[in-house]
Amino acid sequence: MKNLRIGLGALLVIAGIVLFIIPGSMLLVIAGLLLLSVDVPVARTWLKRCQTSMARSSAKIDRVLLNRKLRD
C-alpha cells in the first residue's frame, strides 16, 4: 500500500508540474504532495509551503479585484 501511495503521489506531482507549465491546475501538485506527505516527511514541508503561497496569492488577487471593483 505504501508503494502505491508513493507511486501515485509522484505521478500526480509530475502531472501537476507539467500542467502548471502548460496552462493548467496546481491542484494535482497539491493532491500528489498530500499523498506523499503520509510517507515522506519532506513532502509535508513542501505541502505546507504550497498551501501558504496559494493562500497568500489568493488574498492578493482578492485585494486587487476588490480595488478594481471599488474604482469602477
pLDDT tens digits, one per residue of 18-42 = 887 887 777 888 889 999 999 899 9
pLDDT tens by residue, 49-71? 989 998 999 999 999 999 988 88
pTM over 0.95: no
pLDDT of residue 44: 93
Helix (H, G, I), strand (E, B) or coil at 40: coil
Largest CA distance in the chain: 55
pLDDT of residue 65: 93
Contact in structure between 29 and 12 (CB atoms under 8 Å): yes
Report CA-CA distances (Å) from 63 to 19, 56, 58, 66, 68. Answer: 27, 11, 9, 5, 9
pLDDT: is 46 or 23 the higher one?
46
